[in-house]
A and B are shown apart, each in its own frame.
Chain A
Amino acid sequence: MFDIIFWLLALTAVVAALGVLVMRDVFRAALSMILLFLVVAGIYVTLYADFLAVVQVLIYVGAISILIVVAVMLTQDVWRGSPPGKFRFTAFLVALAFLVVLGWGIVGTNWLMSDELPKQPTVAGIGAGLFGEGGYVLAVEIAGVLLVAAIIGAIALMREK
């Protein structure tokens, strides 16, 4: 049962990702990307990452896809479609070589698996990891600074002169 769900999700994810490349209409490519985000949330559920699945739906499906759809709609009048450039063949070779090397490394490595059962509600564990003793508090603070810098930078760039 678990295997069937994984293969369904994996197939949908790869098809949706290819759809982003293949779709001639940029808006349809954006919809295909949103489907990919939803499927990735499902993959997180199969990996016992409940908190991340919710965060994925909230941030990727909710916020990032809205931003990208707005970008598509505001720039659609100049260019419908997304033709590949002149480096298409080189890019394909680079991506294929990368995939082959990566797959070779993944299959060839002897992964040290753990037999422990995964923590089931992960929210408390992630909260303790982020804010608890010996956690990533400094990274959280820097993340806040990064977000403020990104917002101020985006506003400064978008403001009419």
Chain B
Amino acid sequence: MTVGLVHYLLLSGVLFSIGLYGVLAKRNVVVILMCVEIMLNATNVALVALSRYVVPALLTGQIFAVFVILVAAAEVAVGIAIVFAIYRKRQSVNINDFDLMKW
């Protein structure tokens, strides 16, 4: 069976699930940020694969992927700034200590 759209989408799903498990299960905030990046990369693979196989002449999926990469860059900058701000206050990167908004 030759490699086609379904293979790329399944690869994207596997990567997304790995990232989802990491986000839900890990306790180190930096590792959680890495797992978010894995999930964003997985969605990008799906977008580019759909662009390649469903609308090859329009490139819509690739344009969307550009926006996803842009939002990911903004997200990681703000996310790491938040991690540092809380780290300075609590001296910890454990997600269980990040309870400043808990009532």
Which residues of chain A have a CB within 8 Å of any CB of chain B? 2-3, 6-7, 10, 13-14, 17-18, 20-21, 26, 29-30, 33, 36-37, 40, 43-44, 47-49, 51-52, 55-56, 59-60, 63-64, 67-68, 70-72, 74-75, 78-79, 81-85, 87-88, 90-92, 94-96, 98-99, 102-103, 106-107, 111-114, 116-119, 122, 125-126, 129-130, 136, 139, 143, 146-147, 149-151, 153-155, 157-158
Contact = CB atoms under 8 A, between A and B. Distances in A.
B25 A98 contact: no
Interface residues of B, number: 75
A161 to B, nearest CB: 9
Given A85-B26, A95-B20, A36 B62 contact: no
Contacts of A139: 67
Interface of B: 2-11, 13-22, 24-28, 30-31, 33-35, 37-38, 41, 44-45, 48-49, 51-60, 62-63, 65-67, 69-78, 80-85, 87, 91-96
Contacts of A74: 84, 87
Contacts of B69: 52, 55-56, 59-60
Interface secondary structure of A, over-half rule? helix
B21 A92 contact: yes
Contacts of B72: 60, 64
A13 to B, nearest CB: 6
